[in-house]
Amino acid sequence: MAADAPSAPAAPVPVRDRHDALVLIVTWIVLSIIACLLVALVWGPHLPPGRASTSAADQQDAYIVLGTMATPVVVGVLLYFAYAAIFWRKPKDDDTDAAPLHGNTKVSATWIIGTAAVVLSLAVYGTVELISPAGAGAGEGPQPIWKPAGTTTSSLTSWTPGTSNILQVQVIGQQWAWTFRYPQFGGFESTQLVLPVNEPVQFNVTSLDVIHSFWAYQLGVKADANPGLNNVAYTTPQSIGSFEVRCAELCGIWHGSMFTTGQVMSDADFMAWTKTTATQLAAVTKLLPPYATTYDPTVVATMGKVNQQLGLTGGGGGYYSPGDPVQP
Ligand SMILES: [Cu+2]
């Protein structure tokens, strides 16, 4: 397209340019509608992290909205590039320069207003999507502002399915393993992360040594695990099955092996699991520090004495070693 130089005397727009603009705009609209439908309806349901929890579903919805809004921009750029390469190509023997461009007020204004509207509306949408799903599965620090609707923390020592009292699960990171403590079931600490389906859960994430990051991928939960700090994140698992737990913060030489698999099960199976596990770990639970939102890492040094009492071999970095006969 030739430029409309604002200072130049009004010259009629060449017929060829008008034709190009019309073809480009109509083609852009048609291709954009097709591509947006494909992105939203065909690709969208396959976008990560899936819909295994409320926070995961919210994140997938956000990706679908962002992807769909970006699609007309991508289509426009690629279409213009292809159209220019095909129809505005110069003959091989034409070595002359193209006509100089001196700006185009209409194009500039349209671009600035259009991109500003897209970016600002997405900023508003992103903020709402962070606030309304109770922090969107991210850590909110020790005093969360956004909590799941209809939940309270009425008891830290008991939990019953289907009540407003929210399930508490403490996530403890240490080099290089995750453990999970259940204060409402006697405070046992397990290497297994087990959750009931369709029950809101509050993760209280902390660390015993360096900064880790608790990332329950399919649940759409990611929260930094900082020593001496309780970082709270919420979600509600929506489907029974397994999910991956990884560390998303480079935390030392075995960072890459700091992963486990979590399980979402029915209320009845979850209650049975807590009962069995509490019984199995009763001897170890008695020796654990009392449940707290953070733990003093210097206490870890005294755990070797506990291990001696139990006849265990470990105690180097935490409460147990992989070779120990009894594991939390
Ligand atoms: Cu880590």
Joined together, the tokens standing for residue 328 give 């939390």
Do residues 224 and 231 lie in contact, with contact meaning Cβ atoms separated by under 8 Å? yes
pLDDT tens by residue, 259-294:
999 999 999 999 999 999 999 999 999 888 889 999
Q: What 8-state DSSP symbol labels residue 5?
A: -
Q: How far apart are CA 61 and CA 66, in angstroms?
A: 9
In sequence order, the 6+-apart residues with CB closer than 8 A to the CB of 80 are 24
Local confidence band at 1 (pLDDT 50, 70, 90 cut-offs): very low
**pLDDT above 90: percentage of residues in the chain:** 61
Local confidence band at 94 (pLDDT 50, 70, 90 cut-offs): confident
CA 308 – ligand 1 centroid, Å: 27
CA 71 – ligand 1 centroid, Å: 36
CA 281 – ligand 1 centroid, Å: 25
121 against 130, higher pLDDT:
121
pLDDT score recorded for residue 71: 95
CA 36 – ligand 1 centroid, Å: 39
* Separation of CA 319 from chain center: 30
CA 204 – ligand 1 centroid, Å: 16
- Nearest to 260, CA basis, from 269, 247, 276: 247
pTM value is 0.78
SS3 string, 170-192, reads EEEEECCEEEEEEHHHCCEEECC
Task: For residue 8, give the 3-state DSSP assignment.
Answer: coil
Task: For residue 259, give the 3-state DSSP assignment.
Answer: strand
SS3 string, 138-167, reads ECCCCCCCCCCCCCECCCCCCCCCCCCECE
pLDDT tens by residue, 26-70:
999 999 999 999 999 999 999 999 999 999 999 999 999 999 999
Q: What is the average pLDDT score of the chain? A: 86
Residues with CB under 5 A from ligand 1 (ion): 212, 247, 251, 258
CA 317 – ligand 1 centroid, Å: 13
pLDDT score recorded for residue 15: 59
Average pLDDT over residues 202-212: 94
pLDDT at 137 over 90: no
pLDDT score recorded for residue 12: 59
Sheet strands (E) in the chain: 167-174, 177-182, 188-190, 194-196, 201-207, 212-216, 221-225, 231-235, 241-247, 259-265
**pLDDT above 70: percentage of residues in the chain:** 85
Q: How far apart are CA 110 and CA 284, in angstroms?
A: 67
CA 153 – ligand 1 centroid, Å: 28
CA 284 – ligand 1 centroid, Å: 24
CA 247 – ligand 1 centroid, Å: 5
